[in-house]
Structure 1
Amino acid sequence: MTKNKSKRPICMEEYVTINGISQYLYHLGTNVDNPVMLFLHGGPGSVESLFTRAFQEKWEEIYTVVHWDQRGAGKTLTKNPDTLPTIDLLLQDLYELIQYLKTKYDKEKIVILGHSWGSVLGSVFIRKYPQEAAYYIGVGQVVNMLENEQVGYNKLLEMIEQSGDEKSKKKLQSIGEYPGNQIVFEREFLKKCNKVRKLQGKYNLAMKIDLSIWITVFKSPIFRFSDIVAFMKIFRANAHLHRFLGDFNLRDEKAEYEVPIYYILGGNDWQTPYVIAQKYFEEIEAPNKGIYVIPEAGHMTMMDQPDLFFEALMEINKREILKK
């Protein structure tokens, strides 16, 4: 189990049987009376439990934060290499996990934060089980996957043309039509998507997977070499989820929610373009809602501007406490 170098009163790794399989949880916090926040990572399959040191320390003053390596991801995938996720399985996993956390911490409801793919899972879940969530925070909020790619591509083209970067323009043109009329996560689309992401990374429009990211991972107190093996398997493991994600569109239903909705968006995030979530947010009807656009922050919003992100969290926390 993890060494508690941070001297946190709550600092624990555990495997819990959820929906028939052993699933990994990482708990960090300072006070059991604080609200419990469940962090839903991106991907599908890209665990963020390994990044906690880079952004989370202050959060733990106001929340007990629980990271869950989802089915098909990280340490849960390592334990269960043949038990692969579908959206229905993940929703059931999430429901059972929340029951476990409510009992463990003696809470009526759990705060859900969804990042990127986690914002898809979280948004679907709170519609299905609104009674389980105290409130929802979307970060790198996905509204419509096809629109995401169209808007992100157009922004990239605009930036390349503004800078007169002929080399990058040629690379972008060599990709051909993108993203097309429908997103199907097969080899051809992925090759194009990877090229677009690399160019977006060059212009700070998308997350860069560079040395600094890997250094953060290697320094994590919970890092194991098996995590790298799991990372290399995530695309195959999450094939069913990619099919769901390709067609995902929050606008298929009315923007009506029974739980408070908060969005914290990176003002420089063009991987899940913040302008799309901003526009959708205006349509949302919810018991309470708030939006925070963090300047100079990209897709990894909480890592790019940890202090400003924490200020937004504090304000959300205060609003919800005052409401009670």
Structure 2
Amino acid sequence: MKKAIWLIVTLLSIQSCLSESEKGEIFLTEASPSKGFNYPYFLYIPEGASLKKELVLIVEPNNSGFADDDLNKHIEKAKRTATLDYYPGNYAAQKLKYPLLVPVFPRSESEWKIYTHALDRDVMLQKDNPLERIDLQLLAMVEDAKSKLAESGYTIQDKFFITGFSASGTFTNRFTLIHPEKIQASAAGGLNGLLALPIDSFGVKNLNYPLGINDFKDLLNQEFQRTAFLNTPQFYFMGENDENDAIPYDDAFDQDERELIYEFLGEEMLTKRWKTCADIYKNKGVNASIKTYTNTGHEHPESVKQEIVEFFKKSLNTDHEIMVNVPESQLYVRTRGNAGKPLIINLHGGPGGYSGIDIKLMGPGLEDKFLIAYLDQRGCGKSLECKNNDLLTVEQYVEDLDIVIDSLRKKYDKEKVHIMGTSWGGMYGFLYLLTDQTKVLSYACIDGKVNSNYQNHSLIDFETNRANEILQTDIPEEQKAELEHIVTELERIKNSNFAQFHTDVNWMKHEVPEKLGFNAYFADTSKIISFKDVVQDTALMRLMKYSKEEYAEVGEKAEIVNTAFRNTLSYNNINIESELKQIKIPTIVIQGEQDYVVGTGHAELIYNALTNLSKDKKELHIIPDVGHCPAIESPQLLSDILVVFFEKESLKN
């Protein structure tokens, strides 16, 4: 293979402002070998780029469209790419108000087989010269640009968008194959009907880079990151009238590559080769949208560029439905939010609740900043029904959660996760952490419990005292008899062992409060969301992806699960308060001021029991004028508290 020559250019200044217009600013940064890049790059900042929210850097590899040994000519063409909205990168930058990076890689006329602008095999074989590993040089440019932007007050997401067309589209596709872990989303077109494939062979024929991944280890000194590549959102397109096919040309492909393409993918570009590549991506499970546009040639009209913009927007907000295999069942998990952000696993209440409603309650404040996994626990919501009480146990639920965590960590390439649990979910989270904290970054307990005796006796004592207070007033005999019966029943329950507690606890929480003039769950009863409210809210039903028939089954499942747990002596007497000293990860404890379901002092009890956490690793928040459901009664405040906590703990890690 040919060696690249060192192309020299005199740059006017380092990061000098070249021009300024109503649409933004363009800066040129000189080559900096000490920082890892041997060529300059342009950084375009569109007018309106916000200093107040996180931005995503857009990268469009330069494609001069010609070979020339004069680097200044490539600089001029790269500048046009960075500043004109004809090009998809600049178009997206102006629409999204995100900064754009355009590298200035040369394409030499004298070393014409090295097709840098398509990231071909020849350029990836370069050693001991300025063209060595231009893919890593581009990553170094990205880090340098992010640093410069941070110095100017911008907050930039770790992952970036990459887009291109024709040769730079091919560069984009191949770069995504090599570095999927760096890419938030990839979009490219005019690709010669050919995609870099996540496979290592066709039968006995090996597929080396750039056709496949067979020699990744030898060529790139790295393994193919299959999971990351499959999960990276990708959008590739061709025009049905595109006749620009680079396969026959020696600067783009060697003869052995050409023969493999024609033999296994097809000589005809669109109806054969493009379709075969699309089928391979689909069969391998690549998260890719692959399109052919009618009445379109080798071009990217505004409608296509707008689709790239919408694709980039959508990539920031994942919405996946997953079934996770657990012993003798499957659990439903819905992941929503930003897949490039930290993962939070949400544990609903119950036992027997469901996660669908949490999408409405918790999602709006969290999904832009995190990836939220809404888990329907065993036998609940959209998870498979479970009528086997031997599987409806705390031990089984803890095992289930461990499997879910491992499954999601693998799917989304996360080393660790955050967890948040509400009500029973608050205890559920602690029960899991007492078995394994190695996979969890931090934990949020919202209106949770750890001491069932405290919970049960708190409500019994509160209701008994309230009934006795009313009995001291002048009330009708019928009401007096009713209250005396309540006091007697509460005393009976208090002196029981809570073995068969399902009927009693529901009476205590749902019937008695109404007779005593309070609500165990809500401080503001006008905010109660009933079954009827949910079913009649068509937008909510669509959001949760439930039909009326499916939603009716949620209640039936809940009764089965709740009865199984609530009629179990061990569950009704769980007390892990003394064990919380084992918790070592940062924990936030949140409770509504008027939460009578778990007892108004339960959050403080939990906080004080976290004795091995210093004050900088634990927080206590009591939300005023709120009951057991802060996500319903005070969603914005709850969201604000959680965002600050999870962002702080994510940055630490």
Pick the TM interval, shorter chain.
Answer: 0.7 to 0.9
Match of 1:180 in 2: 494
Whole-Å separation in 2 of the counterparts to 1:209 and 1:17? 40
Q: Distance in 2 between matches of 1:23 and 1:318?
A: 28
- Give SS of 1:228's match: helix
| Displacement after TM superposition at 1:10 (Å) | 1.2
Determine if contact 1:204/1:268 at 8 Å carries over to the other structure: no
> Partners of 1:171 and 1:209 in 2: how far apart?
29
Runs of 4+ in 1 over 6 A off after TM superposition: 208-211
Deviation at 1:103, TM superposition (A): 1.2
- What aligned pairs does 1:144-223 form with structure 2 within 5 A after superposition? 144-160=451-467, 164=473, 166=475, 167=479, 169-170=483-484, 172-173=486-487, 175-186=489-500, 189-198=501-510, 199-200=512-513, 202-206=517-521, 212-218=529-535, 219-221=540-542, 222-223=545-546
Provide the C-alpha distance between the structure 2 equivalents of 1:86 and 1:70, rounded to a whole number of angstroms: 11
**Per the alignment, in what secondary structure is the counterpart of residue 529 of structure 2?**
helix
1:158 is displaced (CA, Å) by 3.8
Alpha carbons of structure 1 residues 101 and 145: separation in structure 2 relative to 1, 3 Å: same
CA contact (8 A) 1:262 1:289 kept: yes
Judged with a 3 Å threshold, the aligned counterparts in structure 2 of structure 1 residues 46 and 254 are, in CA distance, closer, same or farther, namely closer
Native 8 Å contact 1:143 1:277 kept in 2: no
- Point out where structure 2 has 5 or more consecutive residues left out of the alignment: 1-313
The structure showing larger relative contact order (alpha-carbon pairs under 8 Å, at least 6 residues apart) is 1
2-side partners of 1:251 and 1:16: how far apart?
31
Structure ID, larger Rg: 2
Comparing 312-321 and 201-210, the one that deviates more: 201-210
Match for 1:229 among 530, 541, 553? Answer: 553
User: What TM-score comes out, normalization by structure 1 length?
Assistant: 0.85
**What amino acid maps onto 2:399 in structure 1?**
Q
> How far off its partner does 1:9 sit?
2.1
- 1:300 equivalent among 617, 626, 629: 629
Q: Which residue of 1 aligns with 2:638?
A: 309
Give the one of 348, 354, 377 matched to 1:70. 377
Aligned residues: 315
Sort the Cα spacing of 1:314 and 1:230 in 2 relative to 1 into closer, same or farther, 3 A: closer
Choose which of 222, 246, 269 in structure 1 pairs with 2:595.
Answer: 269
> For residues 72-87 of structure 1, what are the structure 2 equivalents within 5 Å?
72-78=379-385, 82=388, 84-87=391-394
CA distance in 1, matches of 2:465, 2:651: 44
- Give the Å deviation of 1:46: 1.2
Deviations 1:216-272 (A, max 9, x none): 532332223233234224343455533232120013535231211111111110101
Letter in 2 for 1:126: L
Coordinate RMSD, CA, aligned: 2.9
Equivalent-residue separation in structure 1 for 2:625 and 2:527 (angstroms): 19
Is 1:286–2:599 an aligned residue pair? no
Shift of the alpha carbon at 1:92? 1.3
Structure 1 residues 8-44: Cα deviation after superposition (integer angstroms, max 9, x where no partner):
7212223232345221111111x22221111111111
Q: Does 2:418 match 1:111?
A: yes
Kindly tell me: are residues 162 and 237 of structure 1, through their superposed partners in 2, closer, same or farther at Cα, counting changes over 3 Å? closer
The 3 A distance-change label for structure 1 pair 150 and 297 is same
Equivalences for 1:236-275 in 2 at 5 Å? 236-238=560-562, 241-242=565-566, 243=568, 244-253=570-579, 255-275=581-601
Tell me: CA distance 1:135–1:55, structure 2 relative to 1, closer, same or farther (3 Å). closer
TM-fit CA distance, 1:314: 2.1
- Structure 1 residue 309 displacement after superposition: 0.5
Deviations, residues 141-168 of structure 1 (Å, cap 9, x unaligned): 1121122121122223444555659537
Q: Confirm whether residue 98 of structure 1 aligns to residue 405 of structure 2.
A: yes
Q: Which residue of 1 aligns with 2:334?
A: 26
Deviations 1:38-59 (Å, cap 9, x if unpaired)? 1111111111323421342111
How far apart in 2 are the matches of 1:154 and 1:235? 26
Which consecutive residues of structure 1, in runs of 5 or more, have no partner in the other structure? 1-6
The TM-score with structure 2 as length reference comes to: 0.45
